[in-house]
Amino acid sequence: MENDLLLDRYVAGLKMVSWVFALLQLVVVFTNLLLPTANTNFGQFAYPTIFLIAFLANSAIALTSNAQNYRYLLPVSIGLIFFLSVVLAIIQQIDNDLEVINQNLGRYMDYQFSTGIMFIVVSVLYLRYLITAFLSVAFTVVTLIIVYLNFQISDLFFSFNVNEILSDGLAINTQWFVLMVSFVLFSAIVSVVASWQFDRLTSQASNVERANQQLGRYFSPEVKAEIEKANLAEMSDQNKQSLVAVLFTDINGFTQMTEKMEPGEVVKLISEYQSKMVAAIFSSGGTVDKFIGDAVMATFGTPTSRGNDAQNAFDCARKMQIAMSQWSKERSEANLPVISHRIGIHFGPCIIGNIGGEQRVEFTVLGDTVNVANRLCDACKNYDAEILLSEDLANRLSEEIKSEIIDNFEIRGRKEKMKVHKLSM
């Protein structure tokens, strides 16, 4: 998940930087055609031509880049930057009289920094910290090397005297030179820091998205949306007590059924069963608390109540039975063993929250209600029942149910006996 998010961001960055370069290069093409700045016929042809080629290349990258070809187009894009820089330097040397340039190198020095600054700033659009850092360092170093070489090939000198600067082509405006060097360094630092910060924010967003994906595994879409709107930290940091409907399911005869099955077949069977149960739970506004082997534990009313949680749990049991009936028909037609299961549901107070230590934390519910629901599911075997409901849950249903009453139902470890409803659907 995180890698997918990063790749999507990288592709978006490559598209963005390619479109920006393409737009800039198209502007230069029209500028050179309408108002030529070259000194020779060669330059008047070469400048718009090379920028037109760069425009077409960047446009192609922007239009075709995707997750599959990103790693191939990225080096092409970066290589295109250096290629354009080198070719422009060569054209400039051919188009200009080197003797005139050498005599006026101090004035030309004012323009040595502009290209580097442009590429450094635009590199942020790649949305990759390391690429921005690489290009920032590269163009900073290249710019400083060019400045150093200019001092080696000519008698350049710094001056604060305006008249001297205007009259002597080898005089360098000290204040402007310092300002441009500062601009290069400032652009590099800001670009790298901004890119690093964007990387950090994207990682945080990736973590949030991954957490949201995890929510989707346990909560129905409606409940997940409510959690995302609320402050999840406030909802989960402190454990609370609340009335909850707890539902357990378990496959009948699962151990005997799977004794002769291959491990892969067992996993496939459990996965198919659990997917059907989860669909029923989510469609009823419930929460998948945990999977215990072939058993499923679901809660209704966590992390917040959705109204009549007892009715939602009962509706979930009904949907589960419909799904199991359809599944049994499909397996029978495929000459596979028919699967049946049992369901136990209870309603009562539970502790809701994060349970565990620093190494592992689990959002779950605890309490006697959970134990009773689990015992009811197990007791289905003894009473030949599909579903056993507690009286506490039945009293909260918004519909009349036809059931067989079991009085004085005993829960192991619990002194108080209870009334239970036996149902078949």
Distance CA 186, CA 242 (A): 57
- Among 214, 247, 272, the domain boundary falls at 214
Asked whether residue 73 is domain-assigned, the answer is yes
174 shares its domain with 308: no
How many Cβ atoms sit within 10 Å of the Cβ of residue 363? Answer: 20
For residue 355, count CB atoms less than 10 angstroms from its CB and return exposed for 0-12, middle for 13-18, buried for 19 or more.
middle
242 and 196 within one domain: no
Range of the domain at 367: 231-423
Q: What is the CATH number of the domain that holds 327?
A: 3.30.70.1230
291 in the same domain as 179: no
Same domain membership, residue 309 and residue 187: no
Of 180, 214, 248, which residue sits at a domain end?
A: 214
Judgement on whether residues 171 and 263 belong to the same structural domain of the protein: no
pLDDT of residue 212: 54
pLDDT at position 297, please? 93
Together in a domain, 203 and 241: no
Radius of gyration of the chain (CA): 36
139 with 256, same domain: the answer is: no
Place of tokens 């849950």: 393
How far does the chain reach from its first CA to its final CA, in angstroms? 40
User: Concatenated DSSP letters for 86-136?
Assistant: HHHHHHHHHHS-HHHHHHTHHHHGGGTTHHHHHHHHHGGGG--HHHHHHHH
147 contacts 153 by C-beta, under 8 angstroms: no
224 within some domain: no
Residue 18 domain flag: yes
- Which of 161, 189, 214 marks a domain boundary? 214
Q: Are 196 and 309 part of one and the same domain?
A: no
> Is 355 inside a domain boundary?
yes
Domain membership flag for residue 136: yes
- Answer yes or no: do 264 and 164 share one domain: no
Q: Extract the tokens encoding 185.
A: 């360094």
Residues 256 and 164 in one domain: no
Question: How does pLDDT run along the chain (425 residues), one tens digit per residue?
Answer: 456 667 888 899 999 999 999 999 999 899 988 888 788 888 889 989 999 999 999 999 999 999 999 999 999 999 998 898 889 888 888 877 767 677 777 777 777 788 788 888 888 888 888 888 998 888 888 888 888 888 887 788 888 888 888 888 888 888 888 888 888 889 889 888 888 887 777 666 666 555 555 545 555 555 555 555 555 444 445 567 889 999 999 999 888 888 888 888 898 999 899 999 999 998 898 888 888 888 999 999 888 888 889 999 999 999 999 999 999 999 999 888 889 999 999 999 998 876 655 555 566 788 889 999 999 999 999 898 999 999 999 999 988 888 899 988 888 777 788 999 999 87
Give the pTM. Answer: 0.53
Please state at what angle helix 41-64 crosses helix 2-34, rounded to 10 degrees: 160
How far is residue 72's CA from residue 75's CA, in Å, rounded to a whole number? 6
In a domain, 223, yes or no: no
Residues 40 and 91 placed together within one structural domain of the fold: yes
Q: Three-class SS of residue 207?
A: helix
Instruction: State residue 356's pLDDT score.
Output: 58
Tell me the two tokens of residue 77: 């894009």
Cβ proximity of 320 and 386 under 8 Å: no
The answer to the question of residue 44 being in a domain is yes
In the chain, DSSP finds a helix count (H) and a strand count (E) of 16, 10
Overall number of domains in the chain: 2
Q: Is residue 225 part of a domain?
A: no
130 & 8 share domain: yes
